[in-house]
Amino acid sequence: MATTRPRVLQYGKMPLPQLDAELAQAYAVTLLSEQPDPDRFLADHGAQFEYLVTSAAMGLPARVVDALPKLKFVSSFGVGFDALDKDALLRRGARVGYTPGVLDDCVADMAFALLLDATRGLSASDRFVRRGGWSQGRFGIHTRASGKRLGIFGMGRIGSTVARRAAGFDMDVAYHNRRPVEGSPHQYLPSLLELARWADILVITAAGGDGTRHLVNAEVLAALGPQGFLVNVARGSVVDEAALAEALQHQRIAGAGLDVFEDEPRPLPALLALDNVVLAPHIASGTHETRRAMADLVLRNLAQFIATGEPEAEVPWSAAQQTATAA
């Protein structure tokens, strides 16, 4: 006797095309983004779906959650969850899975790629050679990365991995979190401002969302100083992008490396004109190995929740809600 496959609403195409095919093979998938009128579809059919798949980049707005009265679980591709409407999901009582851990190495690698590029001027030197500048004169002198003070804002999984990379560059490491990390060998500084004053290079690996919005502001950038560098592989919302552009324009900081922006895929136009900032299109997790591991965890989270009611990896506020409900 044939079994009915669970119905899954897929919010949009996934970052890894193979995942689209694997979801369609395992479940009765409806792709919301391909509906002629998605809002009309939700109004007519939203009550048929208990499971939804999305990504950190696409997010999940409240209007979609509110149109799914039977929603039980969301499986999200990505480590960030600030674009998922927390209040709407908590009101609905839906659980949320995500993909932490499997992308730590690649994001930390990207942080160091941006760090080295920003300090040594690698992208700028590439442009210099390509436009024939080398035949006209010397490129100039830049900043050594090894031996510097590395400040990490957000000492979670990714921040800890960045700190391990720093050991190979003989760097001193300090960090700021909401609270000290138990067992961390690195110096804890109680404010972001103090960390910026201490650091030669400030790397952002903190979570996004309202709680961290624009915490890296003009005051923090001034504390980092004219010899300091900023690297952001977290969320664009953590940095006041206008203040950063102004600090770079007026050499209040030496340079920056950015993989994330406030309004993706539209970096602030002022940044595009500057030669002392390296810009990447949000590709920190964009390797074959990491995207495959993320896709596998999306599938496991969904399958495990359907089978047992418990995902393998659950966003902290979703897991906290479940614990409180059980208590």
Q: Which residues are catalytic?
A: 235, 264, 282
Residue with tokens 């896709």, as numbered in its chain: 295
User: Rounded to whole angstroms, how far apart are CA atoms 226 and 254?
Assistant: 5
User: Rounded to whole angstroms, how far apart are CA atoms 62 and 233?
Assistant: 26
Q: Which distant-in-sequence residues (6+ apart) come within 8 Å of 59 by Cβ?
A: 83, 84, 85
CB count in 10 Å sphere of residue 248: 22
From residue 243, how far is each of 45, 205, 208 by CA, in Å?
Answer: 45, 19, 18
User: Rounded to whole angstroms, how far apart are CA atoms 1 and 13?
Assistant: 32
Task: Please answer whether residues 140 and 122 qualify as being in contact, where contact means their C-beta atoms are separated by less than 8 angstroms.
Answer: no
Q: Is residue 290 within a helix (H) or strand (E), and if so which, with residue range?
A: helix 288-308
Task: Please answer whether residues 313 and 291 qualify as being in contact, where contact means their C-beta atoms are separated by less than 8 angstroms.
Answer: no
From residue 172, how far is each of 59, 160, 163, 310 by CA, in Å?
Answer: 36, 13, 9, 40
Burial-class residue 296 by CB neighbours within 10 Å (0-12, 13-18, 19+).
Answer: middle
Q: Is residue 255 within a helix (H) or strand (E), and if so which, with residue range?
A: strand 255-258
User: Rounded to whole angstroms, how far apart are CA atoms 293 and 103?
Assistant: 8
Q: 104-120 and 288-308 helices cross at what angle (nearest 10)?
A: 150
User: Rounded to whole angstroms, how far apart are CA atoms 121 and 144?
Assistant: 10
Instruction: Calculate the CA 233 to chain-centre distance.
Output: 6
